[in-house]
Amino acid sequence: MADVALQPNRSAAQTGRKRSSLHNALKRKSTVAFLMTLPLLLLIAALVIYPAFYAVHLATLNKSMQRFIGFNNFEFLFKRETFWLVVKQSCIFAITAVIFKAVLGFIIAHFVHNIPAKGQRKWRGMLLVPWVIPPAMSTLAWLWLFDPSYSAFNYTLSFFGIGPIPWTGDAMWARFSVILVNIWVGAPFFMIMYLAALKSVPEQLYEAAAIDGANWWQRIWYVTLPMMRNIIAITTLFSLIVTFANFDIVRILTAGGPLDQTHIFATWAFRIGIEGSDIPLGASVSLFMVPILAVAAIFILRDISKRGNEA
Amino acid sequence: MSRRKLSRRQFVAATALTSAALVTAPYVRGAHAAGKLSIGFWDHWVPGANKASTDIVNAWKEKEKVEVTIDYIPSQGNKNLLTIAAEAQAKSGHDILAMPTWWPHAQSELLEPMNDVMEDLIKRNGEPNGTVKYLGQSKGKWLAVPASVGSQIKGPCSRIDLMKQHAGIDVQALYPAGAPPKADSWTLETFLKAAEACHKAGVPFGIGLGETSDNVDTAGAIFQSFGAALVDEKGNLTVKTDAVRQALEYYKKLISFLPPDVGAWDDASNNKWLVSGKGAMIMNPPSAWAVAKRDAPQVAEQCWTHGFPSGPKGRYAPYLAYFWGTWSFSKNKEAAKSVLRALSQPDAIEKMVVASGGYDLPCYEKLTTLKVWQEEGPPKGTLYHYPNPHNHQTLSIAAAPAPPKIAQQIYVQATLTKMCLRYHKGEPMEKVLAWAEGECEGFMRS
């Protein structure tokens, strides 16, 4: 009887406790943050994590996708001359493009930072245009400028007795062209990130440096750059990953030619996987950079968090 | 305003009654009683050409009471190839899908055999050409039905005036409209001399050496004219042979008479070359001529489509075939086969060829002499020899006779044009051959 009499009270107390713990959980900022990011996490799981694991699965199958062959696709790739050519080109493409994007972005950010606030917005907007236009569209315009037979650049250069330059027909020029377009598209991203970082550098630091007699270069080296280190590291990492994975610019401008000398991972993976109907090998090509980029990401991010802790 | 409240009991009763009524209702044959069918056709570049296919399918669906949906899938950006790959992965998609050249073989394990359809069609339309048999059959099984839409020969399209003026060749006399060719003198040697003469005159032949199909197709036909193949039909490597060496030597000479940027050409480059009036010849189906008719009529009036020059081992011309395939996981295979039969009847094929302005080329022997090719112009008869009406040349595809799954790799990786470019750029012959052999070995992986 006592038990029966006590039971409802205990369950009511438990329900109350549950309710209050749920209430507390909902009140906690981290829970709310988690719930708000949940749709995005689900999207990422569906559109990034699942395809990534599926690509790993595909890379372990034979050409007709009927047999598990482990790492044989990678073994096969390592023996191919063209694969190493693609590795070399991807590194040249990504590293050169990221360095130039970073340097140009840094210089332009300084110019824009020094423009009076009134006119700055217009310049910021205009300079962001290459980054805002879908690359497939802007690259088509570049393709017409570089057209092998009717290049607008060559037409202009001919007035100065220069050319014609084989923009997409010669290996060296073709590599130059694809890197140039990538820099044109990507530099505004660096510019805007660096501009934001520049704006957050306290003016007092420059004043103190000026009092100490620091010249322009010393102010950049000892004040600006250390204050921007984290932003530089993150933008470089982000851009390196995106540039290594680039597809549209190379595909539209040269499709990997001439003689495969502008192929990068994504374009060669497409050539093999989709055009050549060898999806497992294409998946292996596209996955090759994952471990290398992952290690780079770990080091850069670890460095950033270390500096954050020190601060 | 009164509002009647629906009690829980009433809701359950109404739901149960509705379900019972739906389950026990008699089957009424409606407008689409024979099921649904989805078709993915190739999106034709000729404006209005899709309408012919739509009309034929609509007439069939009215008769058969099938609900049909048609998607026109472009080949720009390889959208069609991506669709094929995605549907093959998902094991779901269109009941009929247009597949270019190598894709029936690439997807052979997933395609419904079409032997019964092809038996009827061959009886009615005649034998398909050898290239279609090579690309569409595997171990006696028809993998797909040849489509006239999109199929083409990429033969020479010459400027009558420039060839006469600079090379002393009357292409209309070699290939007279309405009569068999008199082209015994039209050999690779004559072709090379003409290329040199036109190059000297500032109107070089526009033959690309890039990695897209127009470039590869021409190289394929010239290699075959020398009897040169990288892999034979049994899958043996035949790279280091005299025939391949001869073909490379020939190409080396030819490249020096071509525009300097041909290594970067894509499928649009040769069209632009002809339309701009800069060259005396290109290798293309009549699409370039059709564009010239619209944009540069004075150029179009001087265009003549004709046969390939012959080499030591014969006269070969590239035939690029399209197919309509049905997935083995299709839910309405019988309806698919039925509509493919309707699309392959002679009158339907003629309707589609006319709608394409003579561009589409059926593969069947009885259908290469349609009126449209005799009448199209200007100049009248310019397309007469386009469909190879006198079987004057052997239709083939680059990289044949290698087993199709190997040939596809040779074709897609443009191994032939790369070999020619490498040799032309000064790489020693044996090094080029060793590189090509290494590539072909890689293509043999299964």
* Domain ranges for chain A: 80-310
How sure is the predictor about B403, in pLDDT bands with cuts at 50, 70 and 90? Answer: very high
Side chain identity at B281, as an amino acid letter? M
Pick A169's closest partner by Cβ from B109, B263, B439. Answer: B263
Give the residue from chain A lying closest to B209, CA to CA: A258
Q: How confident is the model at residue A80 (pLDDT cuts 50, 70, 90)?
A: very high
Do the Cβ atoms of B354 and B367 come closer than 8 Å? no
The amino acid sitting at A66 is Q
Q: What average pLDDT score do residues B118-134 get?
A: 96
The answer to whether B260 contacts A256, with C-beta atoms less than 8 Å apart, is no
Cα–Cα distance for residue pair A286/B102, rounded to 1 Å: 23
Q: How confident is the model over A258-298, as pLDDT tens digits?
A: 999 999 999 999 999 999 999 999 999 999 888 888 887 88
The predicted structure's pLDDT at residue B6: 59
Closest by CA position to B396, among listed B155, B210, B121, B44: B155
Each residue of A6-23: pLDDT tens digit? 454 555 555 556 666 777
Does B48 score more than 60 pLDDT?
A: yes
Distance of alpha carbon B336 from alpha carbon B113, whole angstroms: 12
- Rounded to whole angstroms, how far apart are CA atoms A233 and A298? 12
Specify whether the CB–CB gap between B322 and B135 falls below 8 A: no
Q: Which of B81, B261, B413 is facing A169, going by the closest CB pair?
A: B261
- Write out pLDDT tens, residues B250-294: 999 999 999 988 998 989 899 999 999 999 999 999 989 998 998
**Residues in chain A within 8 Å Cβ distance of B262:** 148, 169
The pLDDT value given to residue A15: 58
**B394 min Cα distance to partner chain A (Å):** 26
B408 touches chain A (CB under 8 A): yes
Q: Are B154 and B318 in contact (CB under 8 A)?
A: yes
If pLDDT is split at 50, 70 and 90, which confidence band does B23 have?
very low
A296 CA: distance to closest CA in chain B (Å): 32
Question: Rounded to whole angstroms, how far apart are CA atoms B133 and B149?
Answer: 17
- Going by C-alpha positions, the residue among B379, B382, B344 that lies closest to residue B364 is B344
Tell me how far apart the alpha carbons of residues B317 and B300 are, in angstroms, rounded to a whole number: 22
pLDDT band (50, 70, 90) for residue A38: very high
* Cα dihedral A244/A246/A252/A255 (nearest 10): 40
**Closest partner CB to B412 (pick from A81, A254, A271):** A271
The residue-averaged pLDDT of A172-187 equals 95
Residue A204 sits at the chain B interface (C-beta within 8 Å): no
Chain B residues touching residue A274 (CB < 8 angstroms): 78, 81-82, 85
Size of chain B in residues: 446
pLDDT digits (tens, 9 = 90+) for B179-237: 999 999 999 999 999 999 999 999 999 999 999 999 999 999 999 999 999 999 999 99
pLDDT at residue A32 is higher than 50? yes
**Helix or strand or coil: residue B124?**
helix
Residue B17 has pLDDT above 80, yes or no: no
**Contact criterion met (CB below 8 Å) for B186 and B392:** no
Q: Tell me the pLDDT tens digit for each residue of A206-253.
A: 899 989 999 989 999 999 999 998 899 889 988 998 999 899 999 999
Chain A contact set for B109 (CB, 8 A): 64, 66
Per-residue tokens: A78: 């390592």
Chain mean pLDDT for chain A: 87
- Residue B250's Cβ-side half-sphere holds a number of Cα atoms within 13 Å equal to 27
Taking the Cβ of residue B445 and every Cβ of chain A, the question of whether any pair is shorter than 8 Å is answered with: yes
**Shortest CA distance to A265 belongs to which of A102, A76, A63, A94?**
A94
Chain pair A-B, CB pairs under 8 angstroms: 84
For an interface test with B, give the residue of A142, A144, A259 to mutate (most B CBs within 10 A): A259
Residue B153 · residue B386 · CB < 8 Å? yes
In the numeric block, the tokens 């493919």 are attached to B340
Higher pLDDT, A147 or B247: B247
Angle, vertex CA B435, rays to CA B429 and CA B441, nearest 5: 135
∠ CA A24-A28-A34, nearest 5°, is 120
Which residues lie across from B68 on neighbouring strands? B37
ipTM entry = 0.85
Whether the CB of A135 is below 8 Å from some CB of chain B: the reply is no
pLDDT-derived band at A4 (thresholds 50, 70, 90) equals very low
Q: Which residue has the higher pLDDT, B248 or A301?
A: B248
Position B33 pLDDT exceeds 60: no
Domains of chain B: 36-151+320-363 (3.40.190.10), 153-319+379-443 (3.40.190.10)
Measured in angstroms, the CA of B389 and the nearest CA of chain A are apart by 32
Chain A neighbors of B441, CB-CB under 8 A: none
Closest Cβ opposite residue B85 in set A82, A148, A274: A274
State the pLDDT confidence band at A310, using cuts at 50, 70 and 90: low
Interchain CB contact of B265 with A (< 8 Å): yes
Q: What is the DSSP letter of B385?
A: T
Residues of chain A in contact with residue B446, where contact means CB-CB under 8 angstroms, are 62-64
Report, as an integer, the average pLDDT of A141-154. Answer: 89
Q: What is the pLDDT of residues B338-397, one digit of tens each?
A: 999 999 999 999 999 999 999 999 999 999 999 999 988 899 999 999 999 999 999 999
CB B358 within 8 Å of CB B372: yes
* Fold of the domain spanning A80-310: MetI-like fold (1.10.3720)
Distance CA(B239)–CA(B427), nearest Å, equals: 16
Sign of CA dihedral B281, B286, B289, B291: negative
